[in-house]
Each structure stands twice: as C-alpha cells, then as structure tokens.
C-alpha cells in the first residue's frame, strides 16, 4: 500500500508517545514546533514515492506496490533507485528524511536472518517477514537504532552492561530490555523502530548480540529530544527565520528503554554473534552508500542556494565564483556516482542485493571531505551575512522595518524578503547540525578508512607490483 503524507500524519496523530523536550513531556507531539518539521519531512517520503515509478516498486511479498524505503532490493537497479530517491529527498528537504536507517535495517536483517535460519534451522527469518509484510501493507515508516551510549570507553560491554541495550528478563512470550540509544534521528515520529547493537561482539558476549523491533508506543520507551539553537528558534516561531522553515534541522533523540517488553515475534537475532556481525556489516555498507547519495542531495541544495545568492547579489557572472559552483557540483556528482558504482559492483546475499563494501566506505570518505569543502565554498560565496543579518522580525518591525527593507536589498529582481530567505537558508546549512551529522552519520571517516584497509585485496596489488619489478610471487 502507498499512503499519502497526509495519511501518515493522521495515523501518527492517533499514537500516544512519551516524548520529552527540555525535560518536559509534550502533548500533541505531532504539532509541537520541534517535531512538526520532522513530520513534514517524513510526509515527503510518502508523497514523493507516489510520483515516481522507481520510488514505489512492486513487492512480491505483499503483491502490491510499496515504498522503496520498505523494499528489499534485489538488483543493482533497485539500489540505484534507492540512491536516486535518497538524493532527491535530501535535495528537496534540505534535511534528513529520517527513514534511511529503517530501510537499511530491512535490507540488513533480511539476508542475515535467512543465513541464521539456514545455519541453525530457526525461524527468525519468518518472524522478520511477518513484520515486513505488516510494514509493507500498512506503509509504515521505520527507523533503526544502533548507538549505545557506551559510557567509559575503556570498558568492555560486560563491565558496563547498563550502558548497552540488554535483556533484563527472558520470558516465555518475549524478552524485557533496558538501556538507551543515542543519536536517533526522528525515531519518535516513525511507526516501527528496529533495534540493533552498536557493535559486533566477542565470544562470551552473546547476551548483547540481539536484534529486535519495538514501536514508539511500547511501554517503557521514552524519547528525549536533542536541543540546539535551531530548536529554540522553532519554538520562538517565525516564517523563515529558522532558514529551513518547513523541514528544519535534523532532529535526533535519545531513546530510553526502561524494561520494555518485546514479544518473540519481534526478536530477529537472539544471542548469535555471527548473525549480528552479518547484520551490522550489511547495515554499515548500506548506510554509507545511502549517506553518499544523501550528501549529494544536500550539496545539490547548497548549490541551488549558492546560485540564488549569487543572483540575489548581482554576482552570478563573476568567474571565480562560478568556479566555486563548479567545484561544488563536482563533489555532489562524485559522491552520487560512487553510490551508483557501488550498486553496480555489489553482490547478492540471500536474495538481497548489497552494495560494494569498498566503494561504500570510499563514498563515506569522499562525502565527508566533500561536505567540508562545500561548506567552505558556500561560506565564501555567501559572505558574512548569514549569521549577521537582521531577523525577519526586524524586517516586519514598524520601527526598523524600513531600514532593513532598504539596506538589505541588492539585485532588484529579488525582494529584500526573498534575499533574506536565501540568506537564512544558507545560515542554516552552515550552522546547523548537518556538518556534524555528515561527519559521524554511518560511522566516522576513521572507521571507514580502517574498513578500507581491512577489506582491500592487497595481495593482488602486491602481485602486480612483483610482476613489474621482478620479485617472486608466493
């Protein structure tokens, strides 16, 4: 089924959830100024899916069209469609769409549970398919939560058990879990949350090797929202002061699990080191590729903004500035092309098409370094006026509005308000949480580099050199 963004919002309004902002439980969360932008963003994932064939493939599992984000990708073309969707969402939202982790979890658990069952004769995959059917039929929005708060990094999980989501009680009909997950983008506005471990584990640590799903309504699930300047600005209101007025900054939360009961039907890996390793490896490469296409879309948005700024300033013909635009385009296309390349050079795993692991990690590195470079270019093009401009309230002020109206205008083809909207939007890109999100989303660049070194086929490269310089090969 494909529902509309509006239907998603209506469904969301029926839920009761425990969500905290600045220490207080909020009511009518769907309309809270800090959550509304998240809801708007997710709604776009519904509406856009209806507009393009490739964003709503036919699922054999439920024999109907489903959102690409809830689909198990079977071919390179599927993955490319996935990345196209991601890039377009990122460009159109200029922020997170909040469902990429859900999609990655579905595409990670599908093959991992299948392998687990084939290995052990269990029925985890069936359980998973059962939930997946529900998700596809109801067009649920899903997220995945991985990052445990970890506490003192010097300790292993067993020594710091509470800092990892873990089982506190094992019952006949399910398990009871406690712990916390941090950095969770939009989990509070989804229908289903997949819960995966933050890392792989060693022998003896099986108890942490679990994967399951909850709903945000489950008893004991609590969401504590992050709080940044952009949230404060949304609370203060205004039409465009916050830069990205419709979709806002990426909003994350800490999810608390205080003795949450999870029925066995929603447990997909239970104390199995290998299945968790598979799940996490699948997830990491999926997420890094999606991240590369996401960064491409973000940079597209920054390019659009930069070009509008040049026009609004009367500078769109200055060669040195056009060159900056060209460099920004190069980064965007590079990040996206790497995602496409990784789709094509991927591999099948238990009926799921997974991206190329090396390229996925390369995409992560290029995406982050590119994002950083692009921010510099955007800053150089924009001048200092993002962050120093008067507010929209000044523009509307009976006392100083006339000054702002007069002095903030540049190219007469843009009204002062239009130019200020562009300025505030650029401020948003430069000072919001997206830079840090780009660095750490899907793991740090350092982590990607370690993977690159581990996964590379160094022997073939060494052998080629040995041939050239006349060294014996083993």
Q: Which residues pair with 267 in a beta bridge?
A: 212
Determine if 25 is a binding residue for a copy of itself (CB under 8 A).
yes
| CB nearer a copy of itself, residue 172 or residue 406 | 406
Kindly identify the residues of this chain, within the stretch 399-458, that bind a copy of itself according to CB under 8 A: 399-401, 403-404, 406-412, 418, 421-422, 424-425, 427, 430-433, 435-437, 439-441, 444-446, 448-456, 458
Structure tokens at 90: 């990122």
* Bridge-based pairing state of the strands 19-21 and 24-25: antiparallel
Kindly identify the residues of this chain, within the stretch 169-228, that bind a copy of itself according to CB under 8 A: 179-180, 182-183, 222, 224-228
Determine if 4 is a binding residue for a copy of itself (CB under 8 A).
no
**Is 224:182 a contact under the CB 8 Å cutoff?**
no
Determine if 229 is a binding residue for a copy of itself (CB under 8 A).
yes
**Is 156:106 a contact under the CB 8 Å cutoff?**
no
Please, what is the minimum distance in Å from the beta carbon of residue 9 to a copy of itself? 19
Please, what is the minimum distance in Å from the beta carbon of residue 116 to a copy of itself? 30
Q: Which residues pair with 166 in a beta bridge?
A: 178
**Is 321:314 a contact under the CB 8 Å cutoff?**
no
Kindly identify the residues of this chain, within the stretch 355-394, that bind a copy of itself according to CB under 8 A: 356, 358-359, 361-363, 365-366, 372, 375-376, 379-380, 382-391, 393-394
CB-neighbour burial class of residue 419 (10 A; exposed 0-12, middle 13-18, buried 19+): buried
CB-neighbour burial class of residue 384 (10 A; exposed 0-12, middle 13-18, buried 19+): exposed
Region binding a copy of itself by CB under 8 A among candidate stretches 60-68, 98-106, 122-130, 153-161? 153-161
Please, what is the minimum distance in Å from the beta carbon of residue 323 to a copy of itself? 6
Return the residue of 6, 13, 22, 31 that touches a copy of itself, per CB under 8 A.
22
* Bridge-based pairing state of the strands 19-21 and 221-225: parallel
Give the three-state DSSP class for 66: coil
CA–CA gap between residue 261 and residue 221 (Å, rounded): 10
| CB nearer a copy of itself, residue 258 or residue 265 | 258
Q: Where are the beta strands (DSSP E) in 283-329?
A: none
Kindly identify the residues of this chain, within the stretch 241-270, that bind a copy of itself according to CB under 8 A: 241-247, 252-254, 256, 258
CA–CA gap between residue 26 and residue 30 (Å, rounded): 10
Return the residue of 52, 134, 263, 314 that touches a copy of itself, per CB under 8 A.
314
Give the three-state DSSP class for 422: helix
Return the residue of 39, 303, 354, 374 that touches a copy of itself, per CB under 8 A.
303
| CB nearer a copy of itself, residue 25 or residue 202 | 25
What residues have CB less than 8 Å from 422, skipping those under 6 apart?
A: 305, 308, 309, 312, 414
Return the residue of 16, 24, 60, 203 that touches a copy of itself, per CB under 8 A.
24
């Amino acid at each position: 089924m494909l529902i509309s963004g509006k239907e998603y919002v209506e469904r969301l309004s029926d839920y009761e959830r425990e969500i905290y902002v600045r220490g207080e439980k909020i009511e009518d969360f769907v309309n809270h100024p800090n959550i509304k932008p998240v809801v708007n963003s997710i709604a776009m994932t519904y509406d856009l899916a209806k507009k393009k064939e490739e964003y709503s493939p036919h699922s054999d599992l439920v024999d109907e069209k489903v959102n690409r984000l809830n689909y198990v990708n079977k071919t390179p073309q599927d993955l490319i469609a996935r990345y196209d969707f991601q890039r377009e969402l990122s460009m159109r939202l200029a922020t997170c769409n909040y469902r990429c982790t859900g999609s990655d979890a579905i595409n990670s658990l599908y093959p991992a549970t299948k392998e687990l069952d084939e290995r052990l004769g269990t029925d985890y995959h069936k359980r998973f398919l059962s939930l997946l059917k529900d998700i596809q039929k109801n067009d649920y929005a899903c997220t995945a939560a991985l990052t445990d708060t970890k506490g003192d990094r010097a300790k292993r999980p067993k020594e710091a058990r509470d800092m990892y989501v873990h089982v506190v009680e094992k019952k006949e009909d399910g398990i009871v879990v406690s712990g916390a997950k941090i950095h969770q983008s939009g989990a509070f506005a989804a229908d289903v949350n997949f819960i995966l471990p933050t890392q792989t584990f060693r022998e003896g640590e099986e108890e942490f090797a679990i994967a399951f799903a909850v709903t945000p309504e489950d008893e004991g699930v609590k969401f504590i929202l992050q709080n940044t300047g952009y949230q404060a600005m949304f609370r203060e209101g205004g039409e465009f002061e916050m830069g990205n007025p419709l979709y806002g900054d990426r909003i994350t939360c800490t999810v608390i699990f205080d003795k949450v009961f999870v029925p066995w039907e929603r447990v997909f890996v239970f104390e199995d080191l290998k299945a968790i390793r598979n799940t996490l490896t699948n997830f990491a490469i999926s997420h890094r590729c999606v991240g590369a296409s996401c960064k491409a879309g973000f940079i597209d948005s920054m390019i659009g903004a930069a070009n509008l700024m040049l026009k609004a300033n009367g500078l769109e013909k200055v060669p040195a500035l056009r060159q900056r635009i060209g460099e920004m385009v190069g980064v965007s296309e590079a990040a996206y092309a790497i995602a496409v390349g990784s789709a094509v050079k991927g591999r099948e795993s238990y009926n799921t098409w997974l991206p190329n692991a090396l390229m996925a990690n390369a995409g992560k590195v290029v995406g982050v370094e590119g994002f950083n470079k692009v921010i510099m270019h955007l800053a150089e093009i924009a001048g200092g006026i993002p962050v120093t401009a008067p507010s929209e309230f000044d523009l509307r002020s009976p006392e100083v509005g006339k000054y702002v109206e007069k002095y903030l205008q540049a190219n007469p083809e843009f009204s002062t308000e239009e130019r200020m909207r562009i300025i505030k939007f650029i401020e948003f890109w430069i000072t919001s949480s997206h830079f840090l999100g780009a660095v750490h989303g899907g793991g740090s660049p350092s982590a990607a580099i370690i993977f690159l070194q581990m996964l590379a086929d160094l022997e073939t490269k060494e052998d080629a050199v040995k041939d050239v310089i006349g060294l014996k090969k083993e």
